[in-house]
Structure 1
Amino acid sequence: MVTQADAENEDRSGASSIRRTVILLRAVAQGGDRGRRLSDLARETGLHKATASRILGHLVEEQAVVRGADKHFALSRDMQHAMGLPHSISHLRAQARPLLADLTDQLEDVTLLSVRSGYDSLCIDRHVGRWPLQALSLDVGRRRPLGVGAGSLSLYSWLDDAERAQIRSAIAEEMSAFPKAGPERIEELAAQSRAQGFTYLPDFVVPGMTGIGAPVRDRNGAVIAAISIAAVGDRLKGERGGKATALLLETRDRLEARLKGTPLAATGEEST
């Protein structure tokens, strides 16, 4: 006979296992398609190497994680799809990387590539510039609620009214962590962004930091990603901010041209 104490102990053990698995999955996801080594995953999550290896083994068996020939672990394509990530994410990153690197070289500030993942935006690439002070509040693998941040707002603003309303309702509690990002304010900024064709957020997420973002569309006109730039102080304000915006939009246009010139579409299919 199973007692209440036995059931409670089993619940605690199960919850602990779930917690470790989720923490490990998040760490794996931060490696993108390149994957991450077992030793790095164990160190970052605080798990014993044997424990991390056992959990990863189960995740590989369940086809949530794949283990490459280089012994790096990465999310499987099916898992990415289940999490709301497009199968084409590696192709998108590859197409955007040289363009963002060039933009970073010109501006000397941070450039970012983000995609939608459920009700969040997910940073999938970041380039750090040469200017002594860099805006490093968002790293690869980091999520923010849709609408919070220049790239995130670019992913949110061009959705239809019903979908934006659903998102605002779903993430209302998360938005409370960002004092300037209430639902009404996000909607005002979205309308402003659609009118001007880009997002502009001075001193919004982090005091003293400005972000500018632009939506990236596929050949069917659907927004599949966002590119953005971030800088501290006044570097993205005034005349320099206008020049930076022009360069960002030019980079976005070049990226869209590259994407439309390949078999890539917003269907989740990889080009070969």
Structure 2
Amino acid sequence: MPEQTPQVVPRVGALLRALADCEPEGGSTTVVARLAGLARPTAHRLLSSLADQGLVDREPRTGRWSLGPELYLLGSMAADRYDVTAQARDMVHDLAKETGESAFFSVRRGDQTVCLVREDGSFPLRSHVLYEGIRLPIGVASAGLAIIAHLPDREIDEYLARTDLEPDWGAAHAAPQLRERIAATRVTGYAVNPGLLVEGSWGMAAAVFDKQGVPTSALSLTGVESRFRPDRQPVLGGLLLDRAHALTKLLR
């Protein structure tokens, strides 16, 4: 029996995101199914249908699946509307140069943030928690915290009602603790992640807003704990807010 459309659409989305996580080597049907949270027969059936449309590709020798050529063509058509990395790259470069830390630009996609741009600074010790393409729930890491802190209270309540971050990200990401960091972010304007993902790896971020004043992305810095001591945080926060404001103006 053909699958109902409401079931197929989220499953296809999960498969495409799983394939993105497998790039550039691609992934086996078993691996892709596991990443997408689907049964292997279901994943294979959907992947085969997507391959017929050119949306995914399969290497005949290894049987590994990867994103297909049609996705590239569709993405290039959408780039003029959604690609803001060109504007953000200069801001990331400036932050990395001025601070010596690793700088990032991440965008919100649904309940997640996706890192699009990374540039390392001159300081030899670096944090490798974030990289281009990584997806994290909003509220996790400094970029996601900066974004969620500037959402209306109603949207925050709805997000926390449907999302439990604690099982995957630890007790520090339980709703009460997250709300405390949201409140602190609203006071300073910038978010601070005090080594909550990896011990000793700190991050700070400031939100970037679209034409409607919605926080859609963030600029962030990460580095070792000693580089984010209390007396330096206002300096880094000020730089982040300055560049985030400038990028907001460009995007508007």
Instruction: Output the TM-score relative to the length of structure 1.
Output: 0.68
Letter aligned with residue 247 of structure 1: L
- What runs of 5+ residues in structure 1 fail to find an aligned partner? 1-6, 8-17, 31-35, 81-85, 261-272
Cα distance, 1:113–1:59 mapped onto 2, change above 3 Å: farther
Question: 1:25: how far off?
Answer: 4.2
Separation (CA, whole Å) in 1 of partners of 2:181 and 2:69: 42
> How far 1:19 moved relative to its partner?
9.4
What are the superposed Cα offsets for residues 218-250 of structure 1, whole Å, 9 maximum, x if unpaired?
A: 233121211111111210223332222221111
* Greater shift in the superposed pair: 247-256 or 234-243: 234-243
Tell whether the 8 Å contact from 1:115 to 1:155 is kept in structure 2 after alignment. Answer: no
* 1:255 aligned residue: 247
- Partner in structure 1 of residue 33 of structure 2: none
Q: Is the 8 A contact 2:151 2:214 kept in 1?
A: no
Q: Give the partner amino acid of 1:169.
A: A
| CA apart distance, 1:169 | 2.1
Structure 1 stretches (4+) deviating beyond 4 angstroms?
18-25, 54-57, 62-66
Instruction: Give 1:67's aligned amino acid.
Output: P
Indicate the residue corresponding to 2:36 in structure 1.
none
Aligned equivalent of 1:67, options 57, 66, 69: 69
CA pair 20-197 structure 1, distance change in 2 beyond 3 A? closer
Provide TM-score, normalisation by structure 2: 0.73
Deviates more, 1:92-101 or 1:113-122: 113-122
1:74 deviation in Å? 3.6
Aligned length: 217
- Could you say which residue in structure 2 is the equivalent of 1:181? 173
Q: Which residue, out of 105, 116, 134, partners 2:97? A: 105
- Is 1:121 aligned to 2:113, yes or no? yes
Aligned positions of 1:228-243 closer than 5 A: 228-243=220-235
Residue 193 of structure 1: how far off its partner (Å): 0.8
User: Which letter does structure 2 place at the counterpart of 1:252?
Assistant: A
Q: Deviations over 1:156-212 (max 9, x none)?
A: 11111221112112220x432222111111111111111221111222222112111
Inter-CA distance 216–250: structure 2 relative to 1 (3 Å threshold): same
Runs (5+) with no aligned partner, structure 2: 2-9, 30-43, 57-66
Root mean square deviation, CA, Å: 3.4
Contact 1:28 1:74 in 2 (8 A): no
- In structure 2, what is the equivalent of residue 143 of structure 1? 135
Distance in 2 of aligned mates of 1:206 and 1:41: 27
In the alignment, does 2:238 pair up with 1:246?
A: yes
Aligned to 2:82: 89
In structure 2, relative to structure 1, the CA distance for the partners of 1:197 and 1:225 (3 Å cut) is: same
Question: In structure 1, how many angstroms separate the alpha carbons of the residues matched to 2:102 and 2:48?
Answer: 33
8 Å CA contact 1:28–1:41 kept in 2: the answer is: no
